[in-house]
Every structure is written in C-alpha cells, then in structure tokens.
Amino acid sequence: MKGLSAILRIARRELRRLSRNPIYLFTMVVAPLFCYYFFTSLMAEGLPAELPVGLVDNDRTTTSRSLSRNLDAFQMTDIVQTYPDVSAARKAVQRGEIYGFFYIPEGTTGKAQRQEQPTVSFYMNYSYLVAASLLYRDMRTMSELASGAATQSVLLAKGATERQAMAYLQPVVIDTHPINNPWLNYNIYLSNTIIPGLLMLFICMVTVYSIGTEVKSGSARHWLSLARGSMARALAGKLAPHTLIFTLMGAIYVCYLYSWLHFPCHCGVPVMLVVMFLGVIAAQGMGVFMYAALPSLRLGLSFASLWGVISFSICGMSYPVMAMHPTLQGVSLLFPLRHYFLLYVNSALDGYPLLNAWPYVAGLLAFALLPAVVLRRLKNALLHVPYLP
Amino acid sequence: MRQKFADYWKQASADWNYIFRNELRNIFKDQGILIFFFLVPLAYPLLYSFIYTNEVVREVPVAVVDDSRSTTSREYLRNVDATPDVRIAAHCKDMDEAKATIRRRDTYGIIHVPDDFSKRLARGEQTQVSIYTDMSGLLYYKALLVANTEASLVMNARIKTALAGNTTAEQDRVTAYPIAYESVSLYNPQDGFATFLIPAVLVLIIQQTLLLGVGIAAGTAREGNRFRELMPVDRHYTGLLRIVLGKGAAYLLVYLPISVYVLGVVPHLFRLNQIGSPGQLALFAVPYLLACIFFAMSVSLVLRHRETCIMVIVFTSLPLLFISGVSWPGAAVPDFWKAVSCLFPSTPGINGFLKINNMGGTVQDLSFEWHALWTQAVVYFFLTCWGYRHAIVASRRRYIARYRRLRARHIASAQSRTMNGTLPDEAAAAGPQ
C-alpha cells in the first residue's frame, strides 16, 4: 500500500513537471499529431497518378502517334512534352521536368511492315526509384501492346476472332493479386510504419529527457527519496503518466488510420490498440535502458535519436530485411520498430491472430522489461554521476 | 576621417577574429556539438550505405501451387525459378497449404497454375497464371511481378513461333516481337535502392547536423549566461555583422571538410553513382552550406535549452526527406506541402545534388535550385541578423533596467545608511550582479 501511494505521489509530481515545460507538450502531443496529419495528407493520393513523361517521336506516322496517345491514356503517365531528339529529352530529365521518355526511332513503322524488327526504347530516371518503377510498368505494357498491335491487325484481317487473336498474341496472361492492398496504396504501405516509428522515437526521447532533466536540475535525490529509495517505484511513478499520454496518442493514431481513413485492419481495431500499447511500453523500456547505458542527457538523447532514425531503415518496411547483410538481419531485432512492423503486418494487414506472431509480442514485452535489468546501474548513475553539459 | 575608418576597420576585424575563434573553441570544447558536427556526418552515411548496400532484393521465396502438373506448367515454373528475383521455396498441393507458408513467413507470395493450363494452351486458347503477393513490402510485389512477366513472355514467344511455322531463326525472332523494345535505366543502372536513397540522405545529414550543432551551441550559450542571454557581455560582442559573420565563418570552416567527405568521399566509397564534375559540385555546395548555416542560426535563436533542439529537430528528418520529392515523387506532393518544402534548404539541396551527382547535370541545368538556395541564404542571413539585433537590443535594455534598479536600490540604501549612520550591509555591498 505504501509503495502504491509513493508511486501516486511521484506520478502527481511528474504531471506537474510535464505541464511546466512546453517541450513535453510539443513532443508528446503537438509533434505526433502533426506527423499523423503530415504523412497521411502527403500521400493522400495513394498511388501517384499522371507522372510527367516525355516523348521523342522521330517516326511521325499514324502508328507512332496512336502509340503515344495510348501511353498518355494510362493512369500513371502523362505525356507533357514532345522533344525533337533524345538529347533534348535527356536534358529535360536532368532538369527534373520529366521522369522518363519513350523513344520511337525513325522508320519504325516501315521496318515493322517490312518485318525487320525495329526497336523502340523507354528511358527512365531511376534516381527517382518510386516514380520510375511505377512508370516502368506502363511503358512496358505499352511496348508489349505496340508489338501486339502490329500482329493483331494482320490476324483480324485474316478472319481470326478477337479471342483467337489474343490467344495467339498472349497465350499466358499474368493475373496479379496484391493481397490486402490491391490498390498498391503507398499511404497504407508507408504510413502504417513511419508514424508509429516517429511516435516511438518521441517516446524514447521523452523518457530519456525526463530522467536526464532530474539530474540536470539536481532533483534526482528528491525524486528517489519520494520513492523511499526504490528505483523501480520511482520509475513506475515517473513513467506512468507518460504511458497514459502516449497510449492515448497511440489510440488516436489507431482510430485515425483504421476507423477514420479506413486503412485495412483485418484484425479489428482492439487488437491494433493492444499492439500499439505494446509498442509504447517497449519504447519506454528502451528509453530507460538508453539512459542507464549512457547516463548523460546529451549522450542518452543522441543514442535515442540514432536508434530511432535508424529503425526506419532497418525495420524492413521499404527495403526488406532479407536483402540486408546477415549481421544486420540479426541487429534488426534490437529495434522495437521491427517487432511492431511484423506485428502490424501479421495482424492488421494479413489478418492472422496476434498469437501467430507471438515471438514479436514477446520481443516487445522484453523491451518493456529492459529497465529491470538496469535498475541498480540507473540508481547509481542518478545518485553519483553529475550533469555534464 | 580616414584615420577613423581605419580604426573602425581594425576594431571590426579584431572583433570578428575574436568571435570566430571563440566559436571554434566552443565547438571543439563541447562533446555534444562534436557528436553532431563530426561523429554523425562521419558514421551515419557509412551505416546507411551498409544497410542498403545490396541495392536490390533477390531470390524472394515463393510457394507454388501447380494444379496442371504438366510439362508446360513445369517449364513455366522453371523459367520463374531461373529469374534472379524469385526462388521457389515450396511446392504445395493446394492453396491452403500455400497460404500456411505465407502465414509462417516462409514465403512472400504464391504462384497458382490452373489445372487447365496446358490443355488450354494446346487448344490455342488464352490461359491465366495467378500470382498472390504479400504486401508488407512493395519490393516483394515487384520481384514476383517481374519474374512472372519475364517467364510468361518467354513462353508466349515460344508458343507464337511454334504456331507460326517459320523456316528461319530470323523469322522466329520477328514473329515473337514484330516490334522489339528495350528499357534503359538512366542514372541508376541497377535500379538500386542505395543509389536512389543515399544521396538524398547525405545532403539531408548536412542540414540536420548543422541545425543540431548550432542549436546546441546557442542553447549552451544561453544556459551558461547568467541571464539566459544568447550573447555574453563582452566588448567584442557589439557589432551585429561581426557576430553573425564571425560565427557563420566558424561553422563554414568546420563544414567545408565535412561536406567534401559526405558529398564526395562517401559516394565513392560505396560505388554509388558519381558522374557530376567536382567543380560543379563544389560550386553548388557553397550556396547550400550558406543557406544551411544561416537557416540553422535563425532556428537557434528560438531554442532556449541545450537538449530541446535534439527533441525538436531529429524527427523532422523524415518529413523533410519525404517532401523533398525523392522517396515520394515530387509530382505527387500536394501543393501546400510543396510550398512548405521551399522553406528548407534541404529541398533544393537534395534535388540539386541528385541532378549534379547522379545525373551529371551542371549548375545551369538547375537554375531553380540554384536561385532557391541563394534566396534562402540571403533571407536567412537577414533573418539571423534581425534576430541577433533583436537579442542584442533586448539584452541591453534588460541590462540598463537592471543597472537602474540596482542603482536606485544602492542610492536608497546609501540614504538610509546616512540616516541611520550604520555600516553598509552585506547584500548591498555585493553590488551589481
């Protein structure tokens, strides 16, 4: 009973501290809300449409013109400009006006009619990988169609039916089913991991900061004395208000994404709330560990920022972990965001029960329990390591 | 008159020199600044490049459900397996079994060949192969799609030529592709992830570490100052231009070698694209560094504590990377965010660097970025000057007010002393604090 009242007293003290320093309001509420809105509104389009491309048509025949009209009609591409030659188009690519161009050399139609197999080319600027990959699909389909169109007209003239002609042109068709994100929506693909990652970054930093400022302002002894010298109680009282606020922020995020924007959530909102809560306490545990490992405000915060920023790359959301160096595949498990990402994929995206991915639930819980390992070291640091600017 | 000007000039350069050296000393004395000015720019690029060094994802494991079990279907699957993108990791008897492999994360996709696959092909009808991909990463989707498209094209060409009954190989080639096509990857020949992302990160690192370092320096200056002022009371810290240019020159001196390393050496170390001319790159780096330095100094004016700047600035890296138009196509960035992105040197910086370093452009090719950076440099320079002027004037006012207050108290206590005829007490003697 005494322990509980001590925890409550420290929690009240922490709430006062949170309300006095505006940096807490910023990092706990304002900045996360900004991030929620920023990423979802930036990628509101889902899949970029009408990306600017160029055309170099040196053939200038009805066939080449119909080709370019077809290309323009694709959802992803928008032919904004026709260039007289390849180097003019390349310069436009360098200036960033277009992401790529389609090149129909002189005499293409004539060669096709003489059965000499002309070559058309498409050039894409892969320095902008996402845009170029999207365009590649359209350009490629277009070229396939161009090749087919030549044969198709002959076949139809010979009396083949449309079905026979298609069966001749394209005997095997690929029918693609992107499971659970059939629109290839980038908003769903990226926001689902980036936003929780940022929230976890804030949690780690706030945890480190709130412990470090006790040392900086010289109130660490008072804090510990309120807990009657028990580091566990002191931490529980201090971090409970944070857990409450961050869980609330996480809940706002989950509701905003899955209930308001209707991102796929096959496990139901409650399960994602649980996953989010696990993420919050894992990040808090990581934060305590970071301060205990490097007991100075500056180093602790640097550690938190390093870990937080690297986790976006190493969690495998954009570049798969299996393509990384084997060492990094192991290292990736040291980042709470990696576990959160796998749980999100398992539950919200694929709709499997949470226990199907139990190792990652255990992983997040392990992060949350990390402070237990470093309690003694942390207490020592709080009492004996002076603040270094 | 001339003498006066010479004196002024001498004093100004002495002050400038003093401030410049003082700022350099601050930088090298402070471990917090050293971390962000040296350790992060040196180590981060290496770490990032290490993560993305394989560039592409190869041999994505997939499950196969072959209901046709025919020579043709096996030929098709062999073709798929032969592509570099996917690897057939499981042959399953039905879709449920295949789904279970996805659920266990053993595979990232399913290829389903229908039972009438070879029958329909033999009858001269069109048939379908269905692929199902896990969407936790778009690269899995891309790998599966590319592999299957390649395999189907090979097979289609073979079927077409078989039906055509040609006599020569040349005829076969033309039948398969009356019009051939080729795809050329400009400026990123392996379509790699590192070549695309790392240059943007490199440029961003320069801006973010400057923001952090300069912010910490300003926060420390305030915390070290007894009255939370940005500038110490010192006769050298009087001229506005001397302060701004002195500090700016110190940051510039530190960042010149760092920029050479980050923008020149790192891409070389990891064999990223590097086709720009070094001269053009250097020419471009100057306005970028100036814009970043004065931007960082402007931002530092509002930071009150050492550590707050870390909490405020670190997270912005991600949004800044996204609105710069690299990871998310610039053409798809909403107008509002595009306008916001113009406030930050990183946006023209990243695009400009990509155009020179990756695409071999020259400064003439990027007139927008070039002008944007110079505009930002000038605007942030004046903003910094205005901010420092404001800070100087405000701090002087506070000093004068404090002096007046103390003097009034001193006079009052002196009067009371003469009235009481007692010795001055300790507190009054302590004098102006």
Model confidence pLDDT, tens digit, residues B186-207: 888 777 888 888 889 999 999 9
For B315, B328, B350, B379, the CA distances from B347, given in Å and listed in that order, are 16, 13, 5, 16
Q: What percent of chain B has pLDDT over 90?
A: 34
Average pLDDT over residues B146-168: 84
DSSP state at residue A333: G
Q: E strand or H helix at B323, and its extent?
A: helix B317-323
How far is Cα A356 from Cα B105, in angstroms, rounded to an integer? 10
What pLDDT, on the 0 to 100 scale, is given for residue B249?
A: 92
Asked if pLDDT for residue A183 goes beyond 90, the answer is no
Which of A43-47, A55-59, B61-65, B101-105 holds the top average pLDDT?
A: B61-65
pLDDT tens per residue across span B303-361: 877 888 888 999 999 999 998 888 888 888 888 998 999 999 999 999 999 889 888 88
What pLDDT, on the 0 to 100 scale, is given for residue B236?
A: 66
Q: Do A115 and B178 touch (CB under 8 A)?
A: yes
Q: Do A163 and B186 touch (CB under 8 A)?
A: no
Token pair for A43: 């990628």
Average pLDDT over residues B98-111: 91
How far is Cα A262 from Cα A256, in angstroms, rounded to an integer? 8
pLDDT tens per residue across span A247-297: 999 999 999 999 999 998 988 899 999 999 999 999 999 999 999 998 888
Residue extents of the structural domains in chain B: 14-52+192-395, 60-176
Pick the residue with more confidence: B238 or B220?
A: B220
How far is Cα B196 from Cα A223, in angstroms, rounded to an integer? 49
- Of the candidates A26, A115, A136, the beta carbon closest to that of B174 is on A115
Rounded to the nearest angstrom, the minimum Cα separation between A80 and chain B is: 12
How many Cβ contacts (< 8 angstroms) between chains A and B?
325
- Of the candidates A178, A186, A206, the beta carbon closest to that of B133 is on A178
Closest residue in chain A to residue B370, using alpha carbons only:
A95
- Of the candidates B51, B155, B187, the beta carbon closest to that of A314 is on B51
pLDDT tens per residue across span B49-88: 888 888 788 889 999 999 999 999 999 999 999 999 999 9
Amino acid at B379: V
Give yes or no for a contact between A340 and A364, defined as CB atoms under 8 angstroms apart.
yes
Residues of B in contact with A108 (CB under 8 A): 179
Mean pLDDT of chain A: 88
Rounded to the nearest angstrom, the minimum Cα separation between A303 and chain B is: 11
Q: Do B329 and A297 touch (CB under 8 A)?
A: no
Q: Which residues contact A329 (CB under 8 A, 6 or more apart)?
A: A321, A322
Mean pLDDT of chain B: 85
What pLDDT, on the 0 to 100 scale, is given for residue B433?
A: 38
What band does B292 get if pLDDT is binned at 50, 70 and 90? very high
- Of the candidates A51, A115, A177, the beta carbon closest to that of B329 is on A51
pLDDT tens per residue across span A243-260: 999 999 999 999 999 999
Interchain CB contact of B140 with A (< 8 Å): yes
Rounded to the nearest angstrom, the minimum Cα separation between A112 and chain B is: 6
What band does B426 get if pLDDT is binned at 50, 70 and 90? very low
What pLDDT, on the 0 to 100 scale, is given for residue B88?
A: 94
What pLDDT, on the 0 to 100 scale, is given for residue B260?
A: 92
- Nearest Cα neighbor of B86 from B112, B109, B103 is B109
Token pair for B249: 């020159």
What band does B227 get if pLDDT is binned at 50, 70 and 90? low
Q: Do A309 and B126 touch (CB under 8 A)?
A: no
What pLDDT, on the 0 to 100 scale, is given for residue A389?
A: 64
Interchain CB contact of B236 with A (< 8 Å): no
Give yes or no for a contact between A254 and A280, defined as CB atoms under 8 angstroms apart.
no
DSSP state at residue B175: H
Report the sign of the C-alpha dihedral through residues A194, A195, A197, A201, in that order: positive
Residues of B in contact with A179 (CB under 8 A): 132-135
For A261, B371, B410, B418, the CA distances from B421, given in Å and listed in that order, are 80, 73, 15, 5
Asked if pLDDT for residue B225 goes beyond 80, the answer is no
What pLDDT, on the 0 to 100 scale, is given for residue A72?
A: 81
Report, at the CATH architecture level, how domain A51-169 is classified. 3-Layer(aba) Sandwich (3.40)
Rounded to the nearest angstrom, the minimum Cα separation between B385 and chain A is: 26
- Of the candidates A42, A147, A320, the beta carbon closest to that of B323 is on A42
What band does B169 get if pLDDT is binned at 50, 70 and 90? confident
Interchain CB contact of B159 with A (< 8 Å): yes
Sheet strands side by side (includes A77-82): A77-82, A51-57, A100-104, A119-125, B180-186
Interchain CB contact of B203 with A (< 8 Å): no
- Of the candidates B124, B145, B155, the beta carbon closest to that of A172 is on B155
Residue extents of the structural domains in chain A: 2-44+185-384, 51-169
List the 401-420 stretch of B: residues with Cβ below 8 A of A: none
| Complex ipTM > 0.95 | no
Residue A21's Cβ-count burial label (10 Å; 0-12, 13-18, 19+) is middle
Helices then strands, counting H and E runs in chain B, come out as 18, 5
**Candidate from A139-143, A336-340, B56-60, B123-127 with smallest mean pLDDT:** A139-143
CATH superfamily name and code, B60-176: abc type-2 transporter like domain (3.40.1710.10)
